[in-house]
Structure 1
């Protein structure tokens, strides 16, 4: 990416189609059932739930009006304050993979209630986040065959998000889900509180994954930063605990292609760092997915996570 900023919200006409008008709490409760709490962030709480009409699993992100970044939009002649996160999620999911699906967890709808906004999001079931998968399923590093399949999907997802001017600034293990639908592990990306439209900005997200150019100059750009994040993530799944950008010696045996891929991502000079497109074409990544290698392991970990 260059240092030229891109015009934000170029896809408003497409993303606003999923935005609902104001509804009462009672009407919302007729459509969705809230169950257990999944987590909490700086802007609200996330709950597991389901759509009552067909029991479709959803996540309900309750955002307090006073705590969320919003932008005023004129939709069908009405002025509406829309959380930036909602717009980003909608825009990020525009670009699909070759199978017609998006790696981004979809925003299904957004409701204005009396004192809060509720973002209704897809909830991949069954799934587990990458951190939990590695922690509960492994002693040591993630096997290379699994890492390359996960990395391939992440690279494609990042390319698709950048193609619609969306930059996820916090690609880490906790924000990556592995979904085991029909026995086919699929990478899903969550937590869009740190993503942004601008391609040059101040740091946000997990500081330990910040690229060296931020440490030195306090600014960085989308393309090289995303590549660094993915390289640091790959390093993380092979070695833990990890501080990605410190000089250290790899203590595991990597194939030469894997090592080449890793260090091209972690080049200290952002101008010499690999691009996402170069990562996608690197010989280390599989030409076709070999999902069956870790289907059982993933399903077993998801079952453990339920108990």
Structure 2
């Protein structure tokens, strides 16, 4: 750590010999040591627990130089404390490393979802760090269309992430069960998804795995973006280089990075990958089909890299030109010209959803369309 704002002896972790005694952090810095965004203060000490966020220089000033998720390794003999506070019930879903279960808080009866991660499934630190990254990101974000983080527990064999419960299931299952959505319903859901992604991008967070399976629904029809296991914090000087995502939703620039000998191979990618994934998701909302489909992975990636998709009449005969235009703007093979979340929120198709949600005087759609349409012309090759 060579930054001027970091002191030579910034802080001290005081670990007592008794495993039951708390670990404390003593701040010895000039510019500040923070636990969960709260400054300890030079010469002061504060208890730190597993799941707490330790940072040097305040995260609120967006000048954090180093930030760590603290894990007390002495907990190897600790019981699974969470069961003292929650009654854990039936399974809601499962992934590679985790199981999500329905639970209720004993003290209040509040219904929650608990993501249970088996530490033994982690083969290396990379996978573990990816899971802890999800915890760190969820702690710092608050948006009505993003699943809300509540608590974190750790034991010898498991990690527990307590999350807001979305009672309406996955958007993917809704499409599978009911088929394609009517345009008004699709627009309302997609507007919420865009709003959440715009919030993430404004806070330098890229989700990297947006798809209907990771969009949860509430019973009132509102959406909640979930599963931040692949999400990354970025800034203008930091590009991501990891090949990740679900194949059918992965952006061309990620595909290009994985092609040996690809000319002008990109050095990395940015938040635009989320916009591509949203384009694939919108296509699926309106048709119950994906724009890029093949059982041959090589052919699938070729189609994605070339932006080889279409609007067949049997799927799009009753879908508006504005909806197809937005899909075209999202499925732009060039990440530099691909529409951003901020601009997509002002697209003519989305403005209809926004005007319905907003009380008071309505924007004249004809005038709005005239002003915005100059920026959103679908590529001529898409018929």
TM-score by length of 1: 0.75
Is 1:250 the counterpart of 2:304 in the alignment?
no
Structure 1 pair 11/289, CA: closer, same or farther in 2 (3 Å)? Answer: farther
Q: Distance in 1 between matches of 2:82 and 2:354?
A: 45
In structure 1, the partner of 2:355 is 288
- 1:205-242 C-alpha deviation (Å, 9 max, x unpaired): 21111112222233552322111111111111222432
Q: Provide, for residues 110-167 of structure 1, a one-character-per-residue CA deviation record: whole Å limited to 9, x for no partner.
A: 112232221111112x3121111122223xx211101111111111101111222221
SS at match of 1:222: coil
3-state DSSP of counterpart to 2:354: coil
- Residue 259 (structure 1) aligned to one of 324, 328, 334: 324
> Which runs of structure 2 are paired with 1:15-94 in the superposition (5 Å)?
16=52, 24-25=78-79, 27-66=81-120, 67=122, 69-70=127-128, 83-91=132-140, 93-94=141-142
Cα distance in 2 for partners of 1:61, 1:179 equals: 18
Matched, 1:237 2:276: no
Does the CA contact (< 8 Å) of 1:47 and 1:61 recur in 2? yes
Match of 1:227 in 2: 275
Corresponding residue number in structure 2 for 1:171: 210
- CA drift of 1:108 comes to 0.7
* Cα deviations by residue, 1:18-48 (Å, 9 ceiling, x for unpaired): 9998695364222101111222222222211
User: Does the 8 A contact of 2:205 with 2:232 survive in 1?
Assistant: yes
**C-alpha distance in structure 1 between counterparts of 2:321 and 2:333, whole Å:** 20
Secondary structure at the aligned position of 1:201 is classed as coil
Q: 2:170 maps to which residue?
A: 129
Counterpart of 2:162 in structure 1 is: 120
Larger CA Rg, structure 1 vs 2: 2
Pair 1:11–1:149, CA change in 2 (3 A): farther
Aligned equivalents of 2:81, 2:251: Cα separation in 1 = 46
Structure 1 counterpart of 2:146: 104
1 or 2, which has the higher strand percentage? 1
Structure 1 residue aligned with 2:26: none
- Partner SS, residue 109 of structure 1: strand
SS at match of 2:206: coil
Could you tell me whether the CA contact under 8 Å between 2:253 and 2:269 is conserved in 1?
Answer: no
Call closer, same or farther: CA 1:257–1:243 in 2, change over 3 Å: closer
Question: Matched residues in 2 for 1:108 and 1:63: separation?
Answer: 16
Q: 1:154 aligns with which of 186, 193, 203?
A: 193
Provide closer, same or farther for how the CA distance between residues 159 and 178 of structure 1 changes in structure 2, counting only shifts above 3 A: same
CA RMSD of aligned residues (A): 2.9
Q: Distance in 1 between matches of 2:36 and 2:325?
A: 40
User: Gaps spanning 5+ residues in structure 1: where?
Assistant: 1-9, 72-81, 97-101, 292-307
Q: Which residue is 1:205 aligned to?
A: 245
**Match among 176, 182, 185 for residue 143 of structure 1:** 182
Which one is further off, 249-258 or 275-284? Answer: 249-258
Alpha-carbon spacing, 1:11–1:171, altered in 2? closer, same or farther (3 Å): farther
Q: Which runs of 5+ in 2 are unaligned?
A: 1-33, 39-50, 54-68, 259-265, 293-303, 359-383
Cα distance in 1 for partners of 2:35, 2:240 equals 20
Alpha-carbon contact 2:217-2:224 (below 8 Å) kept: yes
Q: CA deviation at 1:11?
A: 10
1: CA distance, partners of 2:253 / 2:194: 21
Structure with larger RCO (C-alpha < 8 A, sep 6+): 1
Mapped partners of 1:147, 1:273: distance in 2: 21
- Can you list the C-alpha shifts for 1:241-298, whole angstroms capped at 9, x where unaligned? 324343333331321221211111111221221111110111111223469xxxxxxx
**TM-score between both structures, scaled by the size of structure 2:** 0.61
Instruction: Find the counterpart in structure 2 of residue 304 from structure 1.
Output: none
Distance (whole Å) between structure 2 residues aligned to residue 104 and residue 11 of structure 1: 24
